[in-house]
Amino acid sequence: MKKRILTGITTTGTPHIGNYLGAIKPALKLAGPDTESFFFLADYHALIKQTDASLIEASVKDIALAWLSSGLDTEHSNFYRQSDIPEVHELTWILSCSAAKGLLNRAHAYKAVVAENEASNADDDKAISMGLFSYPVLMAADILIFNATHVPVGPDQAQHMEMARDIAGKFNHTYSKIFNLPEALIQNEISVPGIDGRKMSKSYNNIIPFLCSEKDLQKAVSKIVTNSLEPGEPKDCNNCNLYELYSLFGNAEQIASFKQAYSDGISWGDAKKELFTVINSEIIPIREKYFELNAQPDLLNDLFADGARKVRPQAQELIEKLRDLVGISKIV
Ligand code: TRP
């Protein structure tokens, strides 16, 4: 069986260079000629965390453009929105009827909220929606609807992948061996520091954007927090967020000479200029593509329609089989 790679991106927020390095770039690398790849926008998952409709809409657009500008080839891979494949929800229900509640009780994301509630003496269920609780079943359905063989995800999703396998196995055992057990490809977490040195995250307000003008990129880089060593004073590249960022973009030779510049006492102003240059040279083609795509009003709607047209028949076929298996089909 050909390798079938599938991964979803929850549509909350705007991608930053941390997402680019940690998720987009590694996933695109996996999409070689001998693999089938499925990349989709998990917009129904986003509803669990975001109730502002306009922010969901903006995020779908930003994330789609980020993937497309970064080189996603929609001719050779399948790119679609979760919401354009309604069979996913039918499968979610079918799986929910056999998935064990006890399994879902153990989900880290759910347990974390329960623990917070307990710590603040609130009701255990405070702020816990059925969506949050059932999140792993919807994710399992995303994967199983296309019988994916390999699922690249971050380490935080390892447990959800085990649950997807468990849910698939239970169904196979109860009815018939219809689902392939998907394998998680756990991606090494690339630690990308934000401008304040903490992990780059929208919630810390410390991101460096990449779908922006050159000027805005420069502005974000200039805000990187450094110590107060003067020009001419040697600087330590260990535990230095600016240096770490540089090493995520530079090649070996550039990194070595940047390290030397630190020992030679480069000023923070100049170090930021060099960092900007090295990030910018990687981002230039992406930015150009982004502005070009962003100017085409119907592009995304057309692409989403095409994407759904390509993959949805497979989902429909699987649902037909499942209906037969569970006893919901034509009466004979
Ligand atoms: N839960 C994943 C995340 O937050 C997103 C996701 C939804 C996903 N459905 C998926 C990832 C299916 C892989 C496969 O990162």
Q: How far apart (Å, rounded) are the C-alpha atoms in residues 278 and 35? A: 32
* Ligand 1 mean position, distance from CA 275 (Å): 32
> Do 82 and 127 belong together in one domain?
yes
**3-state SS assignment for residue 229:** coil
> Do 89 and 163 belong together in one domain?
yes
pLDDT digits (tens, 9 = 90+) for 168-221: 999 999 999 999 999 999 998 888 999 999 999 988 999 999 999 999 999 999
What pLDDT sits at residue 190? 87
Task: Please tell me the residue having the least CA distance from ligand 1 atom 8.
Answer: 8
Residue 23 Cβ inside 6 Å of ligand 1? The answer reads: no
> Do 104 and 219 belong together in one domain?
no
Q: Rounded mean pLDDT of the chain?
A: 96
- The three-state (H, E, C) secondary structure of 155-194, written as one string: HHHHHHHHHHHHHHHHHHHHCCCCCCCCEEEECCCCCCEC
> Do 303 and 278 belong together in one domain?
no
* Ligand 1 mean position, distance from CA 10 (Å): 7
Determine, yes or no, domain membership for 251: yes
pLDDT digits (tens, 9 = 90+) for 149-169: 999 999 999 999 999 999 999
Tokens linked to 254: 């550039």
Task: Please tell me the residue having the least CA distance from ligand 1 atom 14.
Answer: 7
> Do 145 and 37 belong together in one domain?
yes
Residue 88 Cβ inside 6 Å of ligand 1? The answer reads: no
183-186 and 35-42 beta bridge pairing: unpaired
> Do 173 and 252 belong together in one domain?
no
Average pLDDT over residues 237-247: 96
Q: Where in the sequence is the domain holding 284, given as residue range(s)?
A: 212-292
pLDDT at 331 over 90: no
What pLDDT sits at residue 34? 84
pLDDT at 1 over 80: no
* 146 pLDDT tier (thresholds 50, 70, 90): very high
CB 128 within 8 A of CB 111: no
> Do 177 and 276 belong together in one domain?
no
CB 256 within 8 A of CB 208: no
Determine, yes or no, domain membership for 203: no
Residue 153 Cβ inside 6 Å of ligand 1? The answer reads: yes
* 17 pLDDT tier (thresholds 50, 70, 90): very high
Residue 275 is part of a domain; what is its CATH number?
A: 1.10.240.10
- Contacts for 41-44: CB closer than 8 Å, 24+ residues apart: 41/8, 41/9, 41/11, 41/80, 41/81, 41/82, 42/8, 42/9, 42/10, 42/11, 42/82, 42/139, 42/142, 43/11, 43/81, 43/82, 43/83, 44/82, 44/83, 44/88, 44/89, 44/138
DSSP string, 32-43: -TTEEEEEEEEH
> Do 112 and 244 belong together in one domain?
no
Residue 139 Cβ inside 6 Å of ligand 1? The answer reads: yes
Average pLDDT over residues 65-79: 96
123 CB-contact burial (10 Å; exposed 0-12 / middle 13-18 / buried 19+): exposed
Full-model pTM: 0.93
102 CB-contact burial (10 Å; exposed 0-12 / middle 13-18 / buried 19+): exposed
> Do 156 and 265 belong together in one domain?
no
35-42 and 78-81 beta bridge pairing: parallel
> Do 218 and 264 belong together in one domain?
yes
Residue 161 Cβ inside 6 Å of ligand 1? The answer reads: no
Determine, yes or no, domain membership for 204: no
Determine, yes or no, domain membership for 332: no
> Do 170 and 274 belong together in one domain?
no
Residue 129 is part of a domain; what is its CATH number?
A: 3.40.50.620
pLDDT digits (tens, 9 = 90+) for 265-298: 999 999 999 999 999 999 999 999 999 999 999 9
The neighbouring-strand residues paired with 80 are 40
pLDDT digits (tens, 9 = 90+) for 175-186: 999 999 999 999
* 110 pLDDT tier (thresholds 50, 70, 90): very high
Determine, yes or no, domain membership for 206: no
Task: Please tell me the residue having the least CA distance from ligand 1 atom 4.
Answer: 10
Residue 37 Cβ inside 6 Å of ligand 1? The answer reads: no
What pLDDT sits at residue 188? 86
Q: How far apart (Å, rounded) are the C-alpha atoms in residues 130 and 219? A: 42
What pLDDT sits at residue 306? 98
* 55 pLDDT tier (thresholds 50, 70, 90): very high
Determine, yes or no, domain membership for 207: no
> Do 33 and 79 belong together in one domain?
yes
Task: Please tell me the residue having the least CA distance from ligand 1 atom 15.
Answer: 9
How many C-beta atoms surround the C-beta of residue 264 within 10 A?
11
Report the number of distinct structural domains present in the chain. 2
pLDDT at 224 over 80: yes
